[in-house]
Amino acid sequence: MPLLQCGNWVLEGKSSSAVATYIRIKELDLIFDLGRCPMNFIGTNHVFISHFHLDHYFGLPIYISQRWLSGMPPGNIYVPSSGFKQLKNILDRISTLDAGRNWGYQITPVEAGNSIPFRQNLVAHILTGNHSVPAVSYLICEVRKKLKPEYRDLSGREIVALKRSGVEITNEVQLPLVAYLGDTRGISLDAHPLLTQCKLLICECTFITSEHRERAKKTKHLHLDMLPSLLEHFESEYIVLNHFSRRYTPELIRQEVFKQLPASEHARVHLFL
């Protein structure tokens, strides 16, 4: 299984257009899309589905059933609201066929503008997608408490006294960690105030050669020649390109990406092949 180190995070999984996309960041206890489900992904507790093409969600029955069979609590699965009812119907029918009863699972429908707290200190912001079917993108932020400026010069004893008296001495701040665009023709830079500051951007790049520009437009995917103008707005330390078409060999992908992107971008751009 491909592994890609991005600072303190390891991306593992696979992403091949029309075959399967599933990317886990174990350190954040999350999976982006689940077109297939490797057995070592079963214990990961949060799954974020971008849209309902089979290569992005067809691993859900395995994920759900294996947790159920193992006596684990249901994982937290987040899906676009547009397909929520249809997905539940599919899963209920499969579980009846498989086990004669409902597996038991937890699926939450999401829409652009929602903010979903998960784990102890993370929140997922749901962003508008732009694909051939209803889709969403995700921005994961870490939530921290920061001491208000007016209390920064106080001693520890004074701060404790204020807290005990009921004074709110901190503000909540969010640190943008990971943006996952999913399959998309593009994303508005205004989708969220913190979007362009994310440390890691996972960005699809399905088509890379000139003869596929029209196909990219028709199927609402990103084309390599769209990336320079997009990436120049992102402060991300790591840019991970994924979801390349099977038409291209890894050698051609490497050649074209680093030929077409400005040299200034090369150090932070990584390929998830």
B/e letters for 150-176, b = 16+ CB within 10 Å, e = fewer, are: eeeeeeeeebeeeeeeeeebeeeebeb
Q: Are 55 and 23 in contact (CB under 8 A)?
A: no
Tell me how far the alpha carbon of residue 52 is from its chain's centroid. 15
pTM for the structure as a whole: 0.93
Q: How far apart are CA 45 and CA 10, in angstroms?
A: 16
Name every residue whose Cβ is closer than 8 Å to that of residue 19 and which is 6 or more positions away in sequence. Answer: 35, 55, 246
Residue-wise pLDDT tens for the chain (273 aa)? Answer: 779 999 999 999 999 999 999 999 999 999 999 999 999 999 999 999 999 999 999 999 999 999 999 999 999 999 999 999 999 999 999 999 999 999 999 999 999 999 999 998 999 999 999 999 999 999 999 999 877 777 677 777 876 777 788 777 678 899 999 999 999 999 999 999 999 999 999 999 999 999 999 999 999 999 999 999 999 999 999 999 999 999 999 999 999 999 999 999 999 999 999
**Beta pairing partners, 102:** none
| Annotated domain spans of the chain | 7-271
Cβ atoms within 10 Å, residue 114? 15
Q: Report residue 32 as tokens.
A: 């982006």
pLDDT of residue 151: 66
pLDDT of residue 156: 74
Per CATH, the number for 7-271 is 3.60.15.10
| pLDDT of amino acid 94 | 97
